[in-house]
């Protein structure tokens, strides 16, 4: 039995448990989530006049705190307890306080019966269980180390080296022999025929290069090193070559994880990278604020630029200038024939500011031109992805003149395409979720049948399961994206077990303790987003133009609202108009607080102004709701709503112009997987208040360099904003203190240099792991293919038939 339950039953609080359970049985709600449970318990404490500390310090209070869900079925209560991160215990509590532990399969049956979709006499339901495929791979033990997969893997590999040096030296030797660039041998040539000979030649080469000037270039040493058996790839100078050889020599004699990571990170094995992002309007101009675009496009473009830059640096340090080695990065996206004035109808477009990074757009096959020539929402593109992957493979092979070395999927659709491509090309696959929709839509798996017509979660979540288990490694922006916090379940954790009634049960959907998970937060484009105090880098004409746009310009086509007093402190937010981004919630919060309206103006940059201009039903609903809120609270003269699409340079200056007026950035999302706009605001020097649900918890240090808000509590959010504004009015230095700390936070932790160095290191280490472990993933991949062909494809075909009928 759970220690938490046992402690209650063994104490004089047993009667309280009985009474509280009885109260729950008489509630109208049969399915209680954590907030519901805490609210019910607070009412119980109040109604029974419990001491103040009973709520949090009693044994029953502790049990309630760790209870994630309660499902009432007849007179029994099903308790899902989460005593620690990434851990779950399930119990049935009867009326007489009998406690029975329940297996996960039984819990899934209870959930099915709750939504009246499952009847035991109708037969069993398909169970998906990935646990057996992780039984033979290394797993992390301590939850604190989840997301540090590469560190764990390095320790594991180096310990293997130590335990069986002969076997692992053989593996290192074989691994060094496989590297080539455009057919040219790298690292070692045929003159070195065995691990022992490699060890001997390393020592000779160390002696040779140690006698040369440290800065002597590789091309002067190349001939002698070649005779010893060493090809380009060890370094660009005698000093760099010496360091690399010493690392390998040290690995041979006394391996440790730092040396292994340092050595593998120097091997030139990544030259060509594909970043897959099919669904959105993927362009460099005129796309900000469109449905399915925004943050992900910014992320991928910045990542592409910085990956190319880091690869150029790495290849130069490896000494591959002698081969004129040039890296290439391709962003694989979708060609949209009716591109609405953007460049999304161009097959190939160079990424601005790069030498060899490109957007390659491949069209969906024209099953129905009325649909496939236009933008298709991310919720509806599933029928086209298999043929898209086949067509993209051909295009990529032509563009690269060979296979890529790494495929990085973005979002659920991109990750599925990455799986299909990597399976066919036998290439390392990396997944980046950005956001997992399952966490954003409450009960989306339980009630999938009711919402499948609009959201197609049956396809979406199946694609997620396939891609996340297929990936060689997964990059998340935050730790809690994987396993949440002590109070909340992580995005990936939500896939550990769940039911989709009448479709399947997921008994074990993902191994959270797998070393495939790595936290690698993105950076900010520092040429666009930089502190407002760098006046010498700002263009005065741009600043004046943006200031008029934000505060005074009249343009009924693109701007709603005229400010009565433009000099008030601006509260600013910028996001697309959908339910999760919750800009309407911020407007309502502002409208409910008269003091806030007296001191501030609300400035919103948010997509379109008119419902009839969008085909996205969520955006349309939010546009209509925002107008209703403005009228309901009479916000005319106090709000500006800009329905504009901005070039990136302008979006950077917008933050700075708001900072010039000592404004505040508010990010009110109901859930935010990471929060790129938060980094953009902070690096420009804008004090930021952001949602406490999701990634901002790890970006902001509350009350030090920013503030958390609970966007579901509008009055409390308004008070929090007002409190900050009031402190700034009383002490003008307070705004500058928070501003300066915000800038420092981003530069110390969230730069693209840190991100790309880590990502490329991961690609090399996981490439080495896949090669040396001889891990046979074929059984897992065959299982995933079965799910793809037997579950995913039939449902995708149904959606295709619906599309063809439109």
DSSP 8-class letter at 535: G
Integer Cα distance of 316 and 723 in angstroms: 52
The domain defined by 151-177+188-230+234-264 folds into: 1.20.120
User: CATH 3.10.450.330: which residues of the chain?
Assistant: 3-102
Position 717 scores a pLDDT of: 96
Whether the CB-CB separation of 628 and 585 falls below 8 Å is answered with no
Position 5 scores a pLDDT of: 93
CA atoms within 13 A on the CB side of 799: 23
Position 774 scores a pLDDT of: 64
Position 119 scores a pLDDT of: 56
CB atoms within 10 A of CB 29: 11
Two structure tokens written together for 317: 């340090």
Q: What is the CATH number of domain 3-102?
A: 3.10.450.330
Burial letters 213-236, b for 16+ CB under 10 A, else e: eeeeebeebeeebeebbbbbbbbb
Whether the CB-CB separation of 360 and 331 falls below 8 Å is answered with yes
Position 617 scores a pLDDT of: 83
- pLDDT tens, residue by residue, 686-728: 999 999 988 898 899 999 999 999 999 999 999 999 999 999 9
Q: Which residues of the chain fall below pLDDT 70?
A: 1, 117-123, 288-289, 294, 774-776
- The strand ranges marked E within 575-625 are 600-605
Position 286 scores a pLDDT of: 80
DSSP 8-class letter at 692: S
Position 367 scores a pLDDT of: 86
What are the distances in angstroms from CA 619 to CA 90, 221, 440, 631?
39, 63, 16, 19
Integer Cα distance of 531 and 52 in angstroms: 46
pTM of the model: 0.87
Two structure tokens written together for 417: 């395409």
Position 20 scores a pLDDT of: 96
CATH class of this structure's domain 535-750: alpha beta
Integer Cα distance of 417 and 299 in angstroms: 18
User: CATH 3.40.50.2000: which residues of the chain?
Assistant: 535-750
CB atoms within 10 A of CB 167: 13
User: CATH 1.20.120.1230: which residues of the chain?
Assistant: 151-177+188-230+234-264
Whether the CB-CB separation of 652 and 530 falls below 8 Å is answered with yes
The structure tokens 């991961």 sit at: 762
Position 607 scores a pLDDT of: 79
Position 693 scores a pLDDT of: 87
Integer Cα distance of 77 and 92 in angstroms: 6
- pLDDT tens, residue by residue, 745-772: 999 999 999 999 999 999 999 999 888 8
Position 432 scores a pLDDT of: 96
């Amino acid at each position: 039995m759970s220690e938490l339950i046992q402690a209650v039953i063994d104490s004089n609080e047993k009667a309280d448990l009985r009474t509280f359970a009885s109260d729950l049985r008489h509630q109208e709600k049969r399915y209680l989530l954590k907030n519901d449970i805490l609210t019910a318990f607070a009412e119980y404490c109040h109604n029974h006049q419990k001491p103040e500390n009973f709520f949090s310090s009693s044994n029953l209070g502790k049990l309630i705190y760790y209870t994630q869900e309660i499902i009432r079925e007849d007179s029994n209560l099903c308790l899902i307890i989460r005593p620690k991160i990434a851990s779950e215990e399930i119990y049935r509590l009867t009326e007489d306080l009998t406690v029975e532990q329940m297996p996960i399969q039984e819990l899934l049956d209870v959930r099915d019966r709750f939504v009246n979709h499952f009847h035991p006499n109708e037969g069993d339901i398909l169970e998906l269980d990935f646990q057996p495929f992780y039984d033979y791979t290394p797993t992390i033990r301590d939850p604190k180390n989840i997301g540090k997969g590469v560190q764990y893997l390095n320790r594991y590999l180096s310990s293997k080296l130590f335990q069986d040096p002969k076997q692992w030296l053989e593996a290192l030797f074989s691994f060094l022999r496989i590297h080539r660039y455009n057919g040219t041998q790298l690292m070692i040539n045929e003159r070195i025929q065995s691990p022992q000979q490699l060890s001997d030649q390393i020592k000779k080469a160390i002696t040779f290069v140690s006698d040369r000037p440290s800065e002597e270039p590789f091309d002067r040493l190349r001939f002698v090193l070649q005779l010893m058996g060493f090809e380009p790839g060890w370094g660009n100078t005698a000093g760099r070559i010496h360091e690399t050889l010493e690392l390998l020599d040290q690995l041979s004699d006394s391996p440790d994880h730092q040396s292994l990571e340092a050595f593998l990170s120097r091997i030139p094995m990544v030259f060509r990278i594909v970043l897959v992002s099919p669904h959105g309007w993927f362009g460099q101009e005129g796309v900000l604020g469109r449905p399915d675009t925004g943050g992900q496009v910014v992320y991928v473009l910045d990542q592409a630029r910085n990956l190319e830059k880091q690869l150029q640096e790495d290849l130069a340090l490896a000494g591959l200038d002698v081969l004129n080695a040039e890296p290439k990065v391709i962003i694989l996206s979708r060609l949209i024939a009716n591109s609405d004035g953007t460049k999304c109808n161009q097959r190939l477009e160079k990424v601005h500011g790069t030498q060899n990074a490109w957007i390659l757009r491949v069209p969906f096959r024209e099953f129905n031109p009325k649909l496939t020539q236009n933008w298709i929402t991310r919720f509806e593109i599933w029928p086209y992805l298999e043929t898209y992957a086949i067509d993209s493979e051909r295009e990529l092979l032509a563009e690269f003149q060979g296979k890529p070395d790494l495929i990085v999927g973005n979002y659920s659709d991109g990750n599925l395409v990455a799986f299909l491509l990597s399976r066919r090309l036998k290439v390392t696959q990396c997944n980046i979720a950005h956001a997992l929709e399952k966490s954003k839509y409450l009960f989306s798996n339980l009630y999938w049948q009711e919402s499948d017509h609009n959201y197609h979660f049956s396809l979406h979540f199946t694609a997620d399961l396939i891609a996340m288990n297929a990936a060689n490694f997964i990059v998340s922006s935050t730790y809690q994206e994987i396993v949440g916090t002590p109070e909340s379940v992580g995005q990936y954790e939500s896939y550990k077990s769940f039911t989709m009634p009448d479709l399947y049960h997921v008994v074990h959907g993902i191994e959270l303790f797998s070393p495939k998970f790595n936290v690698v937060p993105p950076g900010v484009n520092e040429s666009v987003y930089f502190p407002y105090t760098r006046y010498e880098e700002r263009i005065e004409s741009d600043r004046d133009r943006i200031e008029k746009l934000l505060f005074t310009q009249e343009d009924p086509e693109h701007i709603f609202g005229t400010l009565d007093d433009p000099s008030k402190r601006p509260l600013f937010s910028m996001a697309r108009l959908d339910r999760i981004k919750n800009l309407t919630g911020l407007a309502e919060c502002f409208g409910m607080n008269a003091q806030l309206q007296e001191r501030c103006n609300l400035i919103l940059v948010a997509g379109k102004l008119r419902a009839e201009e969008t085909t996205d039903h969520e955006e349309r609903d939010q546009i209509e709701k925002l107008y209703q809120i403005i009228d309901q609270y009479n916000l005319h003269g106090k709000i500006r709503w800009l329905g504009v699409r901005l070039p990136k340079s302008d979006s950077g200056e917008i933050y700075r112009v708001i900072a010039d007026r000592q404004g505040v950035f508010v990010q009110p999302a109901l859930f935010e997987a990471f929060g790129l706009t938060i980094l953009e605001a902070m690096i420009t020097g804008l004090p930021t208040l952001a949602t406490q649900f999701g990634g901002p918890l790890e970006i902001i240090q509350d009350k030090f360099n920013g503030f958390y808000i609970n966007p579901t509590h509008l009055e409390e959010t308004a008070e929090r904003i007002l409190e900050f504004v009031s402190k700034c009015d009383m002490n003008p230095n307070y705004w500058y203190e928070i501003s300066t700390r915000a800038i420092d936070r981003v530069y110390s932790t969230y730069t693209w240099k840190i991100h790309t160095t880590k990502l490329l290191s991961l690609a090399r280490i996981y490439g080495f792991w896949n090669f040396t472990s001889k891990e046979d993933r074929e059984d897992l991949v065959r299982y995933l293919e079965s799910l793809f062909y037997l579950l995913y494809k039939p449902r995708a075909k149904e959606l295709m038939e619906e599309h063809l009928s439109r």
